[in-house]
Amino acid sequence: MYDKDALDAIAQRKKDWEKEFKINESPKVTTDLDLEVDAVYTPADIRDVDFLQDIGFPGEYPFTRGPYPEMSRHRPWRYALFTGFDTPEKTNERWKFLYKTGQPTFNVVYDLPTHQGLDADDPLAEDEVGRLGIPISTLRDWEVLWDGLPMEGVQFNSNMETLAAIILAFHLAAAEKRGISPAKLWASVSNDPLSTAVSKGTTVFPIEHGVRLATDLIEYACRHMPRFFPVNMKAVNMAEGGASPSQEMGFVFSNALCLIDETIKRGIDIDEVAPKFSFFGCSTTHMFEEAAKWRAARRLWARLMKERYGAKKPASMMFRFTGYHNPLWMYPEEPELNLVRAALGALGSALGGAQAMPHPSFDEAYAIPTEKGQSLALGTQQILAEESNITKTVDPLAGSYYVEWLTNRMEEAIVGKMKEVEREGGAIKAIKSGFMTREILDYFCRQQDDIATGKRVVVRKNKYRLEEDEDIESRVALHKLDNEAVQGHIENLKKTKAERDNGELRRCLDDIRQAARGKDNLMPFLIRAAKVYASIGEITKTLKDVWGSYRETIIV
What whole-number distance in Å separates Cα of residue 168 and Cα of residue 184? 14
User: Does 431 participate in binding another protein (rule CB under 8 A)?
Assistant: no
What whole-number distance in Å separates Cα of residue 401 and Cα of residue 29? 17
H or E stretch at 413 = helix 401-423
Candidates 201, 396, 399, 434; binder of another protein (CB under 8 A) is 201
Contact (CB, 8 A) for 299 and 63 = yes
Nearest residue (CB) to another protein, 219 versus 240:
240
CB contact set of 40 (below 8 Å; sequence gap of 6+) = 14, 17, 401
Interface stretch with another protein, choices 31-39, 67-75, 109-117, 486-494 (CB under 8 A)? 109-117
User: Does 466 participate in binding another protein (rule CB under 8 A)?
Assistant: no
Which letter does DSSP use for residue 279 in this model? E
Nearest residue (CB) to another protein, 230 versus 242:
242
User: Does 110 participate in binding another protein (rule CB under 8 A)?
Assistant: no
User: What is the nearest approach in angstroms of another protein to the Cβ of residue 291?
Assistant: 26
User: Does 159 participate in binding another protein (rule CB under 8 A)?
Assistant: no
What whole-number distance in Å separates Cα of residue 36 and Cα of residue 522? 50
Distance from the Cα of residue 392 to its chain's centroid: 26
Candidates 105, 116, 283, 355; binder of another protein (CB under 8 A) is 116
What whole-number distance in Å separates Cα of residue 360 and Cα of residue 323? 11
Residues 394-423 that bind another protein (CB under 8 A): none
Contact (CB, 8 A) for 323 and 348 = yes
Nearest residue (CB) to another protein, 20 versus 469:
469
User: What is the nearest approach in angstroms of another protein to the Cβ of residue 238?
Assistant: 11
User: What is the nearest approach in angstroms of another protein to the Cβ of residue 467?
Assistant: 18
User: What is the nearest approach in angstroms of another protein to the Cβ of residue 24?
Assistant: 36
Please name the residue ranges forming H helices in 119-201. Answer: 139-145, 164-177, 195-198
User: Does 376 participate in binding another protein (rule CB under 8 A)?
Assistant: no
Candidates 70, 127, 336, 491; binder of another protein (CB under 8 A) is 127
Contact (CB, 8 A) for 528 and 515 = no
Q: Please work out, in degrees rounded to the nearest 5, the angle formed at the alpha carbon of residue 195 by the alpha carbons of 194 and 196.
A: 90
Nearest residue (CB) to another protein, 141 versus 411:
141
Nearest residue (CB) to another protein, 139 versus 243:
243
Candidates 125, 211, 221, 311; binder of another protein (CB under 8 A) is 125
Residues 311-350 that bind another protein (CB under 8 A): 328, 331-332
User: Does 463 participate in binding another protein (rule CB under 8 A)?
Assistant: no
H or E stretch at 247 = helix 245-264
User: Does 448 participate in binding another protein (rule CB under 8 A)?
Assistant: yes
Nearest residue (CB) to another protein, 478 versus 505:
478
Positive/negative CA dihedral, 253, 258, 261, 263: negative
User: Does 444 participate in binding another protein (rule CB under 8 A)?
Assistant: yes
User: Does 200 participate in binding another protein (rule CB under 8 A)?
Assistant: yes
Q: Which residue in 105, 108, 96 sits closest to 153, CA to CA?
A: 105
Candidates 241, 345, 348, 353; binder of another protein (CB under 8 A) is 241
User: What is the nearest approach in angstroms of another protein to the Cβ of residue 91?
Assistant: 17
Contact (CB, 8 A) for 190 and 232 = yes
CB contact set of 329 (below 8 Å; sequence gap of 6+) = 284, 285, 341
User: Does 457 participate in binding another protein (rule CB under 8 A)?
Assistant: no
User: Does 118 participate in binding another protein (rule CB under 8 A)?
Assistant: yes
Candidates 23, 37, 365, 485; binder of another protein (CB under 8 A) is 365
Q: Is 425 left (phi over 0), alpha (psi -120 to 50) or beta?
A: left
Q: Which residue in 35, 48, 40, 51 sits closest to 13, CA to CA?
A: 40
What whole-number distance in Å separates Cα of residue 260 and Cα of residue 211? 11
CB contact set of 545 (below 8 Å; sequence gap of 6+) = 513
Nearest residue (CB) to another protein, 113 versus 245:
113
User: Does 490 participate in binding another protein (rule CB under 8 A)?
Assistant: no
User: Does 501 participate in binding another protein (rule CB under 8 A)?
Assistant: no
- Which parts of this chain interact with another protein (CB under 8 A)? 112-113, 115-116, 118, 124-128, 131-132, 199-202, 241-242, 328, 331-332, 365-367, 441, 444-445, 448, 452, 461, 471-473, 478, 481, 552, 554-556
